[in-house]
Amino acid sequence: MDNFRDLGGIVTDNNREIIKNKIFRSDALINLSDEERKYLNNLHIDEVFDLRSNAEQIARPDEPIAVIRSVPALPDIGTVLEPAALEELVMKADDDMLNRLIDKVQSLYEVIAFKNSAYSQVFDSMRQGRTFIFHCTAGKDRTGVLAALILILLGCSEEKAISDYMLSNQYRQKINSRVYDLLKSKTGEQRADKIIRFYCVEQVCIEKTLSAIKAKYSDYAEFFLKEYSITDKERAEITELYTRKI
């Protein structure tokens, strides 16, 4: 687990703290070590939400540490933009194609937050106060957007949501460094600089998500109500379940 972390401990703008050991974000729960498996089992997780596509899940299924919910966050993106296929494609693409792929990936950030059935199921779980993990493959894009929405739902500022999103670069630093060195040796520094962007998170991406929301709605309360049927009363109840006064 290269990109696993607890959202607990983050302080909201309402002077509340997200309760620890309730909401976890991660990369795929595969190839777990004995130590990782023991750690996860001790968390008493109610549900694992797998945001990967059906093809990704079949190819590399999660280890069954809890009830696994298959909830593809981007079921219509097509196999070309699934991580394994995308990785193969970027290695073969010329510079023009790489730029188009970067634009395509960034464009997904403008639509992913709206009426996302996967995200809706996670919010339903939060209505019940369950302890859960949500993840995709690298735990940075589909997972990163959902984490940002959860933090905002619980009363965090955009700045804190963005900060948590950007932490994936720190958690994935070792693996990204190894990938970059390999890319550099095979393709040269200039091309490696462009390809490594697919392995990292960039602030402009999550900002595209938040900007798209604000372009459509007057505030986040309206967004959560219209997109996920979360009323102000329900939002307050969810906040009570997952945060505490400090």
pLDDT digits (tens, 9 = 90+) for 7-42: 999 999 999 999 999 999 999 999 999 999 999 999
Q: Which helix (H) or strand (E) holds 241?
A: helix 232-242
The count of C-alpha atoms lying within 13 angstroms of the C-alpha of 6, restricted to the half-sphere facing its C-beta, is: 16
Write down the mean pLDDT value for the chain: 93
Domain assignments of the chain as residue spans, ordered by start: 5-245
What CATH number was assigned to the domain covering residues 5-245? 3.90.190.10
Give the model's pLDDT for residue 97: 84
Calpha distance 141→148 (Å, rounded): 10
Contacts of residue 97, Cβ cutoff 8 Å, sequence gap at least 6: 89
pLDDT digits (tens, 9 = 90+) for 73-119: 987 665 545 566 667 777 777 888 888 888 988 999 999 999 999 99
Calpha distance 26→3 (Å, rounded): 5
pTM for the model stands at: 0.94
